[in-house]
Structure 1
Amino acid sequence: MGGNSGTALVVGAGVGGLATAIGLRRAGWEVTVLERRAALERYGTAFGIHPTAQSALDRLGLGDALRARAVPYRDGWIRRPDGTVLAALPLERIERKAGRPELLVSRPYLIDALLAELDRLGGTKIEYGRPLAGEAASLVADPATDQAVGRAAAPAPLPPGVDLLVGADGINSAVRTAHFGARSRPRRIDTVAWIGTAGFETGVYGETWGAGRFFGMTPVEPGRTNWYATVPEATTADELRGAFADWHDPIPRVLAETDPATWIRYEMRHLYPALPAFTAAGRVALVGDAAHAMTPNLGQGACTALLDAEALTRAVAERGPAGLPAALRAYGAERRRSAQRVAFASRNLHRFMSARRPALRDALVGLLPG
């Protein structure tokens, strides 16, 4: 790779980790990716890719692969449970400002496109079934209690021979806890989320907001519809179907005709308090959920991970291994406040969308421009 190459260890093979590995390989770095799972998960949910994240993918050399399978999102509305339209989603405004529309792409396809690009570039080792070894592996939040299992008295050392360690290992990041401490950690927000894919096109897209719950539908690819729902009390498929049984068509049909075995249920969480830095010791950086895990209400999780990955690897490429501390400072200056503003806005939107007394909320939404 020449004298400008360095050695990087990326922990986590999700969207942010794979995009970071691609950017580093394009800069000539030797890269190893550790993934704690034995194989990557390819569940069929959709990612919304904002034009800014599309530009990041263009700079990583992946824009054409995205556009080959993505569908534009141009028609979405906010509705009441009875189907009354309250407002349009700001999709037209986004397209007018950026000159291109929001895109929706299936998660499995985006993961496969990232893997294909890494394979094309060559030289990256992905080691599956490999969590971060040593002390850092035990310093994670217990998902049953949201309490830190341990606390690093001092930053953990980097593995031998590694110039740059990138934590892309999600909301329960071992890299974050080992190198940034346990104060910022996952916190529950007492809402259960469900996601799935219906085997037909509903033709009705956007979000429906009720009292303490909401339901969303987006296109994802021909013949399929991505859907998501949140409701505090639903713990089974039957309870979820019951919670939306009297909502407008086609919501009951989507739930009735989608196999619950394919649904994904998870407790919504976010990272709190916000981290004071995304980098440490001039050699450690966090990207994606490891740095700023947020509620999914703005649909920006994948976008912010891609923006992080591109900004980090661009800064590293510009300065080389000798300038790594300066590169990480530049990355933090570019991304931390921006990503944390998105996370804060998403959490506030969740509160607004989930209001249990929705009359005032609906009146305010109705004042939004169409």
Structure 2
Amino acid sequence: MRMRAAVVGGGIGGLATAIGLHSAGWEVTVLERAAGLPETGTGLGIWPAALRALDALGVGEQVRRRGRRQSDGVIRRPDGSRIATIDVGRLERRHGEPVHLVTRPVLLAVLAGALPPGIVRFGAPVYDPAALVEAYDLVVGADGIGSVVRAGLYGDRHPLRYAGTVAWRGVADVEVATGGETWGRGRKFGLTPEGPGRTNWYAAVALPEGHPPPADDRAELRRLFGDWHEPIPRLLAALTADGVLRHEVRDLTPLPSYVAGRVALLGDAAHAMTPDLGQGACQALIDAVALAECLRTTDDVPAALRAYDRRRRGPTRRIAATARWAGRLSQTRRLLPARDALLRLALAAGPPG
């Protein structure tokens, strides 16, 4: 008799988990609260280790074809002077391939397309994870930073914590030659070319928790970054009222385990991290492949989940801690020469592949 799994959440981690479990012979149901796949969304950097995870799922080449190679970038000061270069070529030499950029809707469409019809149930929110545990051999919480499955395991004992910044992000109909970030005093602005005439952008500002939101996000962004070097003012001038997302940045206090009995957490449900390393989606993909591999070789689900926890909790906690450190570095308002020197050292060491 086939083992049955319920995957809560039909995002990147949930769909990747469903592919891995289905290929391992499991009967899988994905429960996603949204009505369907998103049609819009910002870009993601898929690092080499995550590309290898996509290869293991059989969709790596599709993602490479539908994305684009990331080029070198520059980290600058607000006046345009250079702090450091982001050497993507060195990453390729070290890991065998570069970072590929792909939009979130494209990645989700590729993952969903690798699943047989009927596995993903849209418009199916989960309110009682305990009921799923009674009905399935395995329950996977891939339901994001506000995970209902995690709450069922831990309650409020491991809460989200404010990371010290408010972030804005979006996509603008502006073309830029190169990407990178600009760091000021407690502020930074990032640009990533998405394709001809399109650019992903994000901004982060160190602010106290609960800081009142501005009446007009576009006006606030122009106030904060409008006198920085080009093409930032040009991009800000092109923003539309519905093209700006704003949120307080939070991450998850470390969990003592990603598993309990026949329940497993992955992605942001297990280790929500700040976006400073661009690793959230990548680590969810790696989690999904690791979970499926651990379950492929045994019918002892709790033992397989413990193996998954040993394999993934340590690396993801280290990456989350590094991301939080990088975020704090970018929030610095004083001793900027020392900050810039630390940033150059961090880039020389290189990010996780």
- Whether the TM-score (by the shorter chain) exceeds 0.5 is yes
Cα deviations by residue, 1:188-238 (Å, 9 ceiling, x for unpaired): 223111111122320131111110110111122333111111124573221
Shift of 1:177: 1.2
Q: Aligned AA for 2:229?
A: H
Q: Which residue of 1 aligns with 2:83?
A: 86
Q: Which residue of 2 aligns with 1:360?
A: 338
Q: How far apart in 2 are the matches of 1:276 and 1:221? A: 42
Shift of 1:365: 3.3
Cα deviations by residue, 1:14-46 (Å, 9 ceiling, x for unpaired): 100111111111112111111122333333201
Does 2:288 match 1:291? Answer: no
Q: Which residue of 2 aligns with 1:194?
A: 168
Q: How far apart in 2 are the matches of 1:88 and 1:276? A: 37
Q: Which residue of 1 aligns with 2:296?
A: 317
Shift of 1:114: 1.0
Shift of 1:266: 1.4
Shift of 1:366: 4.9
Instruction: Tell me, yes or no, if the aligned pair for 2:37 and 2:109 is still in contact at 8 Å.
Output: no
Shift of 1:122: 4.2
Q: TM-score, normalised by structure 1?
A: 0.87
Q: How far apart in 1 are the matches of 2:274 and 2:348? A: 25
Instruction: Tell me, yes or no, if the aligned pair for 1:196 and 1:227 is still in contact at 8 Å.
Output: yes
Q: 1:47 aligns with which of 29, 44, 55?
A: 44
Does 2:19 match 1:38? Answer: no
Partner SS for 1:365: helix
Instruction: Tell me, yes or no, if the aligned pair for 1:36 and 1:128 is still in contact at 8 Å.
Output: yes
Distance 1:324 1:255, change over 3 A: same
Q: Which residue of 1 aligns with 2:136?
A: 162
Partner SS for 2:297: helix
Q: Which residue of 1 aligns with 2:124?
A: 130
Shift of 1:111: 0.9
Q: How far apart in 1 are the matches of 2:196 and 2:229? A: 23
Q: How far apart in 1 are the matches of 2:164 and 2:327? A: 11
Identity level (%): 51
Q: 1:218 aligns with which of 184, 192, 195?
A: 192
Instruction: Tell me, yes or no, if the aligned pair for 2:4 and 2:26 is still in contact at 8 Å.
Output: yes
Q: How far apart in 1 are the matches of 2:89 and 2:331? A: 25
Cα deviations by residue, 1:121-146 (Å, 9 ceiling, x for unpaired): 3451x222322233x5xxxxxxxxxx
The unaligned stretches of length 5 or more in structure 1 are: 137-155
Shift of 1:305: 0.4
Does 2:1 match 1:7? Answer: no
Q: 1:204 aligns with which of 178, 198, 201?
A: 178
Q: Aligned AA for 2:35?
A: A
Instruction: Tell me, yes or no, if the aligned pair for 2:150 and 2:270 is still in contact at 8 Å.
Output: yes
Q: Aligned AA for 1:278?
A: Y
Distance 1:116 1:176, change over 3 A: same
| Match runs of 1:140-179 below 5 Å | 156=130, 158-179=132-153
Q: Which residue of 1 aligns with 2:93?
A: 96
Q: Aligned AA for 2:337?
A: A
Cα deviations by residue, 1:310-341 (Å, 9 ceiling, x for unpaired): 1101111222xx22122111111111100111
Q: 1:246 aligns with which of 206, 227, 252?
A: 227
Q: How far apart in 1 are the matches of 2:118 and 2:24? A: 12
Instruction: Tell me, yes or no, if the aligned pair for 1:172 and 1:185 is still in contact at 8 Å.
Output: no
Q: Aligned AA for 1:48?
A: G
Q: Which residue of 2 aligns with 1:144?
A: none
Does 2:259 match 1:279? Answer: yes
Partner SS for 2:161: strand
Q: Aligned AA for 1:324?
A: V
Q: How far apart in 1 are the matches of 2:280 and 2:81? A: 29
Q: Aligned AA for 1:331?
A: Y
Q: Which residue of 1 aligns with 2:102?
A: 105
Q: 1:231 aligns with which of 205, 215, 219?
A: 205
Partner SS for 1:285: strand
Instruction: Tell me, yes or no, if the aligned pair for 1:57 and 1:63 is still in contact at 8 Å.
Output: yes
Distance 1:315 1:366, change over 3 A: closer
Q: How far apart in 1 are the matches of 2:154 and 2:177? A: 46
Q: Which residue of 1 aligns with 2:210?
A: none
Q: Aligned AA for 1:286?
A: L
Instruction: Tell me, yes or no, if the aligned pair for 2:37 and 2:105 is still in contact at 8 Å.
Output: no
RMSD: 1.8
Distance 1:159 1:325, change over 3 A: closer
Shift of 1:369: 4.7
Shift of 1:239: 0.5
Q: How far apart in 1 are the matches of 2:158 and 2:275? A: 19
Higher mean alpha-carbon deviation, 104-113 vs 33-42, is at: 33-42
Shift of 1:250: 0.1
Cα deviations by residue, 1:215-270 (Å, 9 ceiling, x for unpaired): 11112233311111112457322111210011010011111112131121111100
